[in-house]
Amino acid sequence: MAETIGKTGFSRRSFLKMGGLASAALTVVGTGGAAYHAGKDKMSYTGYESFEGEQQTYDRKRFEIDGPAYSPVGKVKRPGSFTDLVFVRVGIFGQKVKEGWTPADGIDALGEPLASWYKEFPDQLELDVQVGTVTMPNAAKDHAKYDDYFALADAYAWGWEDIFAFYPAIPTTPPEESDYTLTHAHPGGGSHDSKIREEPRPFKSPDHAAELIKKVAHRYGATVVGITKLNPDFCYADGLRGAEDQGPYEVPKHWKYAIVVGVPHEWEQVLSNPGHGTSYDGYNRVRNVSARVTGFLKHLGYPSRSHHPPFHYDLIVPPIAVDAGIGQLGRHGFVICPETGSNIRLAVITTNLEMTIDKPIDFGVDHFCKDCKICAEQCPSAAISTAESSEGMEIRGYEHWHINTGKCFNFWMQAMGPLGCRLCLTVCPYSRRNNWLHKIAKDVDINDPTGLVNNALIFMQKSLFEMPDPQEYLRPPDGRFAGYREAPEWLQVTNYLAIDPPNPQIGG
């Protein structure tokens, strides 16, 4: 009788038994609800709104490797800013065409440095000719027909982009001058320049300097921060910003260290690449972080220069980011970082402030990229190599995956919406939000030395998740300007605007 509760005759044992049964059902329902919530939760948009360093979640110490991330395998050659940087190259080439150059004039008539470069990469000349003769005329027609359909995505992207013209200012003097100059903004408008302090404020130690720079960079909005010594091999060989002579130059002596900062793109929009995505949100945010860190350093008396998107660089960023332990280089040429995968936009600040540097990390990306190939299979321009490994792909003395920039750029110009493609960073299985499902998958994969989880995840990615046929990304009639996923509802024009434009993505 001691077990009965009140006058009901319902025993404690029966209560526990029935309660246990009900709990079994309720916990399943509750877990389901929590799981659904996790999938919707905006807090899983890793790093999009920075939480002052709390989004750099991976303990990189566990994955650190000794020694440099890259070792030369041949004669090292610094990249050419007028040739290897596709945007600049195509711009210069387009100007030559405007001035009257035709293929009949021969490569030499293009002048240096284009002539030598195209002789080394003759297939790129054909592709660059195609930009002006086929891709851009087609793009003009497509924009006339379909721009309304992408109106919100365009407007959203331009909202980010339009301040590019104002901040941060492009250096107009050589690094020996501009890196030592502070630009003070006046609250009422205008600005004035002054030299940085002659005696920099001393730090207690390189450890303190690195710690503070990272804390400050996170507070300025960086999702990830890493520090390395600058390898001059990764600085452009020419086109130094602010220098009168745009030819070859010596890397400035005060560019001893590189601080690498990164932020991801917005997580809903990034899935709708190419059509409804944009680079400009990531570009805008990371260049702001980079400019702020530069200002911070200069105010303490340390010369510094920001190298940031879209193409305001005196160096190539990915290998420097790899050196700084931000992540590893993927098959698609982007850095894959543990927190945000390939969805990361980077900038670099060069300075002479002595800081403790980070080590490169290895969390299994090389192995994963060898087996995965999703970016290469999805790339509509076949610009990404499908080779089994990057062995033998020597580029300017270093071995890494080869990207055909000419092919990439032709599709880049063809894609509708706010310019560009970004499909490779979107489809990368590492580019997933930070909810329990993807975090467990990533954690288990990173900690599995056998490679079995790696293979299982790639199999699941390919067999469970839908992916458009690469052809579908192309312009009609070959394709339908498909996005990897549908545009987020807030970028679909028919949801908000009183227009009903033709929709190329329906296909058929």
Q: Is the dihedral of CA 159, 378, 416, 481 positive or negative?
A: negative
Give least dist CB 34 to other proteins, A.
5
The answer to whether 461 touches 429, Cβ cutoff 8 Å, is yes
Q: How far is the CB of 455 from other proteins (least distance, A)?
A: 16
Euclidean distance between CA atoms 108 and 126, whole angstroms: 15
Number of residues located near other proteins, criterion CB under 8 A: 35
Interface stretch with other proteins, choices 9-17, 231-239, 322-330, 406-414 (CB under 8 A): 9-17
Q: What is the torsion angle, in degrees rounded to the nearest 10, for the CA atoms of residue 265, residue 271, residue 276 and residue 277?
A: 20
Stretch that binds other proteins, among 32-40, 157-165, 183-191, 244-252 (CB under 8 A): 32-40
3-state secondary structure 125-179: HHHHHHHHHHHHHHHHHHHHHHHHHHHHHHHHHHHHHHHHHCCCCCCCCCHHHHC
Verify binding: residue 28, other proteins, rule CB under 8 A: yes
Closest distance between other proteins and the C-beta of residue 166, in Å? 36
Interacting residues with other proteins between 188 and 247 (CB under 8 A): none
- Residue of 5, 39, 51, 155 interacting with other proteins (CB under 8 A): 39
Nearer to other proteins, 40 or 186 (CB): 40
Q: How far apart are CA 178 and CA 172, in angstroms?
A: 7
Distance CA 258, CA 233 (A): 13
Instruction: Compute the least distance from the CB of residue 380 to other proteins, in Å.
Output: 21
Instruction: Give the DSSP letter of residue 312.
Output: B
Q: Nearer Cβ to other proteins, position 3 or 147?
A: 3
How near is the Cβ of 95 to other proteins at its closest, in Å? 44
Of 415-474, binders to other proteins (CB under 8 A) are 433, 435-437, 463-466
Distance from the first to the final alpha carbon of the chain: 74
Choose between 269 and 390: whose C-beta lies nearer to other proteins: 269
Under the criterion CB under 8 A, does residue 40 sit at the interface with other proteins?
Answer: yes
3-class SS letters over 215-281: HHHHHCCCCEEEEEECCHHHECCCCCCCCCCCCCCCCCCCCCEEEEEEECCCCCHHHHCCCCCCCHH
Q: Which is nearer to other proteins, 163 or 437 (CB)?
A: 437
Minimum distance, C-beta of residue 271 to other proteins, in the bound complex (Å): 8
| Binding flag, residue 31, other proteins (CB under 8 A) | yes
The rounded distance, in Å, linking the Cα atoms of 84 and 356 is 32
Shortest distance in whole angstroms from residue 268 CB to other proteins: 9
495 touches other proteins (CB under 8 A): no
Residue 23 touching other proteins (CB under 8 A): yes
Options 3, 5, 10, 32; binder of other proteins; rule CB under 8 A: 32
Figure out which of the listed residues 1, 6, 7, 24 binds other proteins, where binding follows CB under 8 A.
24
Asked if 36 interacts with other proteins (CB under 8 A), we say yes
Torsion of CA 205, 207, 208, 212, to 10 degrees: 140
Task: Show the site string, 291-330: x = touches other proteins by CB under 8 A, - = not.
Answer: ----------------------------------------
Which residues does 378 contact at the CB level (< 8 Å), separation at least 6?
Answer: 423, 424, 427, 467, 468, 470, 473, 484
Asked if residue 485 binds other proteins (CB under 8 A), the reply is yes
- Which is closer to other proteins, CB of 168 or CB of 488? 488
By CB under 8 A, residue 37 contacts other proteins: yes
CB of 6 to other proteins, least distance (A): 19
Interface residues for other proteins in 268-297 (CB under 8 A)?
none
Nearer to other proteins, 165 or 464 (CB): 464
Residue identified by tokens 């059902």 is 25
Q: Which of 3, 10, 30, 499 binds other proteins (CB under 8 A)?
A: 30
Letter string b/e over residues 349-364, b meaning 16 or more CB atoms within 10 A of that residue's CB:
bbbbbebebbbbbebb
Torsion angle (degrees, nearest 10) of CA 424, 426, 431, 435: -160
Note the residues at the interface with other proteins (CB under 8 A). 13, 16-24, 26-28, 30-41, 433, 435-437, 463-466, 485-486
